[in-house]
Amino acid sequence: MTSWRVTSPGRVAAGRRYPRGCDVQDDFDDQLTEIVAARRFAEQTIGSDHARLADVLVIVSELASNAIRHAHSGFSLRVCSKREQVRIEVADHGGGWPAATPRAEVTSGGGMGLHLVAALSDRWGATERGDGKVVWAELDGGPTFHVV
CA 53 distance to own-chain centroid: 11
CA 119 distance to own-chain centroid: 14
Q: How many CB atoms lie within 10 A of CB 138?
A: 16
**148 residues of the chain, pLDDT tens digit each:** 334 344 333 333 333 344 555 688 999 999 999 999 999 999 999 988 889 999 999 999 999 999 999 899 999 999 998 878 999 999 999 877 776 666 656 565 666 788 899 999 999 999 998 889 999 999 997 655 555 5
Residue 76's beta-bridge partner residues?
A: 27, 91
Q: In the chain, what are the domains?
A: 18-140 (3.30.565.10)
Q: How many CB atoms lie within 10 A of CB 83?
A: 6
pTM recorded for the entire structure: 0.79
Quick check: 45 and 81 in contact, CB under 8 A?
yes
CA 23 distance to own-chain centroid: 13
